[in-house]
Every structure is written in C-alpha cells, then in structure tokens.
Structure 1
Amino acid sequence: MTFEQQWIEYDYNPFVLFNSNGKIISLNSEAQFLLGAITAEELFNFATTYANVSFGFKTTFVELDFGRYKFFAITVGYENDEEIGIKLYQIPSFKLNKPKLEGELTNIYTLVDLCISTYSINSDIIFLKDFDPTIPEIIIDSNNFIKILNKIYSCYENNEKILTKIFYRVGEHIKFEDKKYSIFSVEVSSKNINEDKINELKVLAANTSFYMDFQKKVIINIPMITS
C-alpha cells in the first residue's frame, strides 16, 4: 500500500469507489463500518444523484444521518463512465463533557432484565433477548438508564413481541476525559412504534448523558467505562 493509499485507508471519513454497475471496487476502513448502517446500493444512488453533470468533482453540503453516523457534506468525483467515487464528511464524533462520571459499577444484564420483568407484570408482550454475554460490569447511571429503557418499552407497547439486543459496536469509540472507550449498545425494536411516546422519550433522553439513536429501532449507546 502506497503512502497515498494509506492516507485514504486511515481517513476518518468514509470513501467508496464504485464501477458503473454500482459494484464496490475499493473502500477504506471507515466505509466498511458505515456499510453496517447503509447498503452499497444506497451509497451508489447518493453518488449518482450528487455527481457533477460532466466529468469532475463536486462537493455538496448536505446533512445525512445513518444511525449514529452523521455527515455534513459529500464529495463525488468521476473522470470516465466506468468509475465513480464518493467521500462523506463526518460530523465529529460525540464526546462526553461532564467533569465527573456519574453512576456506579453495574451489571447491564441485571438492569435490562429488571426492566423487562417490571414491564411484563401487567403485559402479555413476549420479550425476546439477543445478548452478547461478554459485556463487563460498567459504570452507568442506573436510575436514569432504567427510566429510559422503561420509556422505550412503552413506545412499543402495541406489539406482540419486543426484541432487546445487547452488542458491541466494533470499531466505534467515545471520548471521555481525553480517554477513548469502546461502545456497546442496547437496542430495542418491534413492528409498531408510538410516535407520540418517541417524542416524550427524546425529551427524557435530552436530560441524561446517554447518546441515543431514534429510528424504527431505538438504541442506547454506552461507553465501556469499567473504573
């Protein structure tokens, strides 16, 4: 790999090169992670939509949101009809700015099971679980987490089943007090979602330190701070 290629490979911003049929020819590391949140076909459509009318390069300032990936601009370039490239410029990753870490060392599985048990008392909903069992005990504000998760479940109360997943976010990090920590997520999903309660959830979440994604799935992203 040449020095120039290494610059592209380790760029913080995703870069993808397509052929004329939308097949990926090459991509950098950051783009590989992005493809977990958006399909190659969708990226190719963005490239062709924002491309210059003639050969060359065009940068467009546009807000794009794919899960926790947020972008403020894209550059699309092509010099022939065979290849087209797209680079997406990320909004800087979120950073926890609180001077002191709030919370206590807690088992995340215990908190989630507590919320499920509590919510199941007066409900016929079937709660499905898909947990990565390797998450260690982490420092977290348990009270606020329980409030948030219970509110999330209320957003899906008009369903027969609700799926809760706990998983690592590979390659993603959060900075806290100038240290970088891995992230794991608690994701809740089902078929139907109550939009009014989602709006209430957003208000509640705004008063906490949790970084959340609101889509058809609701995701709480949590730093792996263990001490």
Structure 2
Amino acid sequence: MNFAEEWIEHDYNPFIVFDNSGKIVSLNQEAQYLLGEVNHKKIFDIAGTYASITYGFKTTIVDIAFNSYKFYAITVGYLDEDVIGIKLYKNATKKFANVEEYGESVNIYALLDLCISAVSTNSAIKFKKEFDPTFPDIHLNVENFIKLLNKVYQTHLNATTITTRLSLITGEYIRFNNKKYPIFSISIKSDATPLHYEKNIEDIAHKSNCTIQFEANETLIQSALVS
C-alpha cells in the first residue's frame, strides 16, 4: 500500500468502493466491522441514493444508524460508471474537558498488553488485537488509565472472544491551551453483551482525560494523543 491507501485503511470512518453491480471492490478495516452489522447491499443502495447526478463527489449531512453504528454524514463519489465509493462519518462522542499534557510518557502497546495479560490470566477467553502500528509513546495518567482499561475488560468477561482495536481518528482533533491534538480510539468489543457497567467507570474515564461510550457489545474509549 502507498501512504494514501494506508491512511484510508486506518481511518476511523468506514470507506467502501463498489462496482456497478453492488459487489465490494475494496474497503477499510472500519468498514469490515460495519458490515458485521449491516448487509453491504444496504450501503450500496445508500450510495446510489445520495450520489451526485453528474460525475463527482457529494457530501450530505444525514443521520444514519445501523445497530451500534451511528453516522451524521456521508460522502459519495464516482468518476465513471464502473465504481462508486462511500465514506460514512461516525457521530462524535462526548467532548473532552481536559488534556493530560504532563502525564507519564508510555508505550501504549505495552500498556494494552499489560492489561490484556492481567485479565486473561486463568481465563478461556480468546483475546484479539488489532493495533495501528504507527503510535509514538504518549503522555497519559497511567494509574487511572490502567484502572479504566481493567474495569472495561471486566465487564466483558462473559464473552468467548474480546477484540481490542487501537486506532487514530483521522481528521478529528481537540484544541486545548491554543494547541491542537489528534484523537486516538481504543475499542474493546466482545461477542456477548457486557455483564454490567460499574457506575464509577465514567468517573475514572474523566480522571484519565478520556471519553467513554457504551454500545451493545462494545466499549469505546477516546483521548487526546499527546506525544
């Protein structure tokens, strides 16, 4: 893959290209997850509905929901009759109140591995990892962040498989103290409905300078990337 293709592959938003019969030509990682909840024909129909009348690209603000996935806009583009592409923009989660500019500098991969190792001890759960390989060391409130991850993993312990995804949210930033920071995302998704959510998880997330969102079988943590 070239740089542009890698960028699309790791985009936080689903991106799919179809041929003129509705078959998938290419898609990124996030689109693969989306198609686990919705038939690709529905996405193809949406692309056709919102495509520009003439060749080109068209962005439309529209609310679309597929189970746990919620979108606020789409871009549809085509330059000939052979292929058509669509990008769906995920709804933003809760706003950040703060940025931890002076936390400890840590390797995020090692931190996630540590938490996964701890929770997988004496467990039959299969843990999968899908990490963007380009993350630098980042500044975090390590104690609270580990506590947050452990609490979230514990809510998914009735599952047989837990998948952890680490990715950078392309095109989204937070401004704090006249600085602009990219946002990274950790998705912890299982094949079963979580056992429970402790009331203090959101408090721990706040102390960790994170936002947290709960879906049917997924917990999404987001934070500013301070390197």
* TM-score bracket for this pair, using the shorter chain length: 0.5 to 0.7
Q: CA deviation at 1:219?
A: 1.3
Which residue, 25, 28, 47 being the options, matches 2:59? 28
- Indicate the residue corresponding to 2:39 in structure 1: none
In structure 1, runs of 5+ residues without a counterpart are: 1-18, 44-65, 71-92
The 3-state SS of whatever aligns with 1:38 is strand
CA 1:147–1:24 in structure 2 vs 1: closer, same or farther (change >3 Å)? same
Q: CA deviation at 1:178?
A: 1.6
TM-score, length-scaled by structure 2: 0.59
Quick one: distance in 1 between partners of 2:71 and 2:148? 30
Q: CA RMSD in A?
A: 3.5
Q: CA deviation at 1:157?
A: 0.3
Percent sequence identity over aligned pairs: 32
AA at the equivalent of 2:222: N
Quick one: distance in 1 between partners of 2:142 and 2:46? 51
Q: CA deviation at 1:143?
A: 0.9
- Indicate the residue corresponding to 1:185 in structure 2: 185
CA 1:68–1:220 in structure 2 vs 1: closer, same or farther (change >3 Å)? farther
Which residue, 83, 88, 92 being the options, matches 1:69? 92
The 3-state SS of whatever aligns with 2:181 is strand
Quick one: distance in 2 between partners of 1:222 and 1:114? 19
AA at the equivalent of 1:141: N
Quick one: distance in 2 between partners of 1:163 and 1:128? 5
- Indicate the residue corresponding to 1:138 in structure 2: 138
CA contact (8 A) 2:210 2:222 kept: yes
CA 1:103–1:218 in structure 2 vs 1: closer, same or farther (change >3 Å)? same
Q: Runs of 4+ in structure 1 displaced over 4 angstroms?
A: 19-22, 34-37
- Indicate the residue corresponding to 1:165 in structure 2: 165
Over residues 22-57 of structure 1, what are the superposed CA-to-partner deviations in whole Å (9 max), with x where a residue is unaligned?
A: 71135439x59x9995369x99xxxxxxxxxxxxxx
TM-score, length-scaled by structure 1: 0.59
Q: Aligned pairs, how many? A: 160
Q: CA deviation at 1:21?
A: 10
Choose between structure 1 and 2 for higher RCO, CA contacts under 8 A separated by at least 6 residues: 2
Quick one: distance in 1 between partners of 2:112 and 2:140? 13
Quick one: distance in 1 between partners of 2:208 and 2:115? 18
Q: CA deviation at 1:198?
A: 5.0
Q: CA deviation at 1:191?
A: 2.0
CA 1:152–1:21 in structure 2 vs 1: closer, same or farther (change >3 Å)? closer
CA 1:67–1:197 in structure 2 vs 1: closer, same or farther (change >3 Å)? farther
CA 1:199–1:68 in structure 2 vs 1: closer, same or farther (change >3 Å)? farther
Quick one: distance in 1 between partners of 2:203 and 2:183? 23
Over residues 112-134 of structure 1, what are the superposed CA-to-partner deviations in whole Å (9 max), with x where a residue is unaligned?
A: 00001111112111110011110
In structure 2, runs of 5+ residues without a counterpart are: 1-44, 53-57, 75-88
Quick one: distance in 2 between partners of 1:119 and 1:20? 41
CA 1:130–1:116 in structure 2 vs 1: closer, same or farther (change >3 Å)? same
